[in-house]
Copies of this chain bind each other. A is one copy, B any other.
Amino acid sequence: MPELPAALQQLIAELGKLPGVGRRSAERMAFALLASEPDDVRPLADAVTRLHVEVGLCETCGYYTDRGVCPICTDPSRDETVLCVVEMPVDVIAFERTGGFRARYHVLGGVLSPLKGISPDDLNVAGLRKRLQNASIAEVILATSPSVEGEATAHYLSQILARDGVRFTRIGRGVPMGGSLDLADSGTLRLALEGRRAID
């Protein structure tokens, strides 16, 4: 294959870094952009450039926002008594997609990981502690991921933040909806057994 122009090669390389985009997909995207009118391509460059300039993290919860405090934190119709603690801003979006959940969130910014040198000081634990001083919070749902580090983080937070009148809960773990039991790993099945509930 003849050498492609440098700008095209750079674009293919950059697009190829995006999640789920392989070399061939990146080429296809780059060729489509090149075949478009320059005016149709400019908005993409603008959006990428504006992204980090305009979008930051909510001062209260750490979710994405282009204001100081995000729309979830300022929404008066949300349940103030429940706080859902997640690892990353995208986890907020995942929970919001479920539809019926109307609590507030707190984004840690990661999980504790001694191996990667991530200590409580590297996460937004101080902000969480401060929010728990708000008397209205009655339940903290620890929705970190069901990994060793996620479990350890949830356990750690439930210990150091324990206070009267606040219940710490952990999201349910077990076989996923539509999941096949013979494909589930033994760790998941063990969690599913531990998390069994009486049939109403």
Give the B-binding residues of A (Cβ under 8 A). 1-8, 10-11, 13-15, 17-21, 25, 27-35, 38, 41-55, 64-66, 70-72, 75, 88-90, 93, 96-97
Q: Which residues of B contact A64 (CB under 8 A)?
A: 4-5, 8, 34
Please determine whether B29 and A66 come into contact, CB atoms closer than 8 angstroms.
no
A66 to B2, CA, bound (A): 13
Copy count, this protein chain = 2
Please determine whether A52 and B34 come into contact, CB atoms closer than 8 angstroms.
yes
| Chain A residues touching B, majority SS | helix
Please determine whether A2 and B97 come into contact, CB atoms closer than 8 angstroms.
no
Q: Which residues of B contact A3 (CB under 8 A)?
A: 71
Q: Which residues of B contact A15 (CB under 8 A)?
A: 44
Please determine whether A29 and B19 come into contact, CB atoms closer than 8 angstroms.
yes
A15 to B3, CA, bound (A): 26
Please determine whether B50 and A7 come into contact, CB atoms closer than 8 angstroms.
yes
A178 to B140, CA, bound (A): 57
Cβ-closest chain B residue relative to A78: B2
Please determine whether B1 and A47 come into contact, CB atoms closer than 8 angstroms.
no
Q: How many Å from the CB of A91 to the closest CB on chain B?
A: 11
A50 to B64, CA, bound (A): 29
A29 to B18, CA, bound (A): 6
Q: Which residues of B contact A72 (CB under 8 A)?
A: 2
